[in-house]
Amino acid sequence: MIVCGRLAEVGLDAARRLAVEYLHGAEGVDRCWAWRPDLVVSALLGGQVVGVCFASPGFGTGIVVDGIAVDGNFAGRGIGSKLLSAWEVAAGAAGFTEVTVGSAGGYVEHFYEKNGYRPVEYCVTVPGVVGVDGPGGVEITRVRVYGDFSLVNIASTNGRDPDAKAAALAACGGTHLSVIYAKSLSPMS
Ligand SMILES: CC(C)(COP(=O)(O)OP(=O)(O)OC[C@H]1O[C@@H](n2cnc3c(N)ncnc32)[C@H](O)[C@@H]1OP(=O)(O)O)[C@@H](O)C(=O)NCCC(=O)NCCS
């Protein structure tokens, strides 16, 4: 039976290993553990950590799903959905009201949509420094400059539509695009 809930410290190394194998490394787990250990949520199967979901701060009462990973041996069995739902309950109980998450594409977009997330923006990686006004023809919501590249957020509810993604990339001269999904949380979610 799958049991989802706050990660026990004894499971931290197993959670880190999942993040290394399926995400971009263990740093996000460690950051969330230091910031809000109650929002590092695990899925246990027979007492073993087979999934982890963790967060980073958003704006105001917003919060960001920094990563979610399920052991590939157990993928596609509903564990990820159950884990995400348990994490949302924890985030809602902690007082957060909206969650956002970035998805680089593929089946993960289906996963978030299936779990009630709605596309609200694109985040486009653009080489070089982009001015605050950004490119024309699109509604810029945010520009962040990181030395040799910039991240340009564009309002869009087109989600995984490939034509809309291509148009957004072309408008910005971007090299990479992720869809930003959002979902409202309630204390009862
Ligand atoms: C994304 C992830 C957490 C989903 O976990 P999961 O336990 O497989 O999720 P669920 O079983 O609840 O699946 C939900 C939906 O996603 C689909 N899905 C999951 N893995 C899939 C895969 N490898 N290929 C195609 N579809 C997949 C399922 O088919 C299901 O949709 P359906 O019911 O309509 O068929 C897991 O696949 C994973 O760890 N991926 C690698 C890490 C990652 O990319 N994380 C997200 C970015 S932070």
Distance 112 CA to ligand 1 centre (A): 9
Q: How far apart are CA 174 and CA 123, in angstroms?
A: 10
| Per-residue pLDDT, 138 | 84
| Per-residue pLDDT, 129 | 86
Q: Note whether residue 113 is domain-resident.
A: no
Q: Note whether residue 41 is domain-resident.
A: yes
Q: Above 90 in pLDDT, residue 81?
A: yes
Shared domain check, 86 and 22: yes
110 CB near ligand 1 (under 6 Å): yes
Q: How confident is the model at residue 85 (pLDDT cuts 50, 70, 90)?
A: very high
How much of the chain is helix, strand and coil, in % rounded to 5? 35, 35, 30
Q: How far apart are CA 28 and CA 31, in angstroms?
A: 5
| Per-residue pLDDT, 137 | 73
Q: Residue 125 in 3-state DSSP?
A: strand
Please name the residues in contact with 46: beta carbons below 8 A apart, sequence gap of 6 or more: none
Q: Note whether residue 17 is domain-resident.
A: yes
| % of the chain exceeding 70 in pLDDT | 96
| % of the chain exceeding 90 in pLDDT | 87
Rg, the chain, Cα only: 17
Cβ atoms of residues 148 and 166 within 8 Å: no
Shared domain check, 124 and 89: no
Task: At 101, list the tokens.
Answer: 């998450």
Rounded mean pLDDT, 141-153: 92
85 CB near ligand 1 (under 6 Å): no
Q: How far apart are CA 63 and CA 39, in angstroms?
A: 10
- Domain final residue pick, 96, 130, 159: 96
Which ligand 1 atom sits closest to the C-alpha of 76?
Answer: 11
Q: How do residues 108-138 score in pLDDT, each as one tens digit?
A: 999 999 999 999 999 999 999 887 666 667 8
Shared domain check, 168 and 127: yes
Q: Note whether residue 102 is domain-resident.
A: no
CATH number of the domain to which 159 belongs? 3.30.70
Q: How do residues 15-73 score in pLDDT, each as one tens digit?
A: 999 999 999 999 999 999 999 999 999 999 999 999 999 999 999 999 999 999 999 99
174 CB near ligand 1 (under 6 Å): no
Q: Compute the mean pLDDT over every residue in the chain, rounded to the nearest whole number.
A: 94
Range of the domain at 126: 118-182
| Per-residue pLDDT, 188 | 61
Shared domain check, 124 and 38: no
Q: Note whether residue 112 is domain-resident.
A: no
Shared domain check, 72 and 9: yes
81 CB near ligand 1 (under 6 Å): yes
| Per-residue pLDDT, 136 | 67
Shared domain check, 85 and 23: yes
| Per-residue pLDDT, 130 | 82
Shared domain check, 92 and 124: no
Shared domain check, 91 and 9: yes
Q: How far apart are CA 174 and CA 177, in angstroms?
A: 7
Q: Note whether residue 188 is domain-resident.
A: no
What is the number of domains present in the chain? 2
CATH number of the domain to which 17 belongs? 3.40.630.30
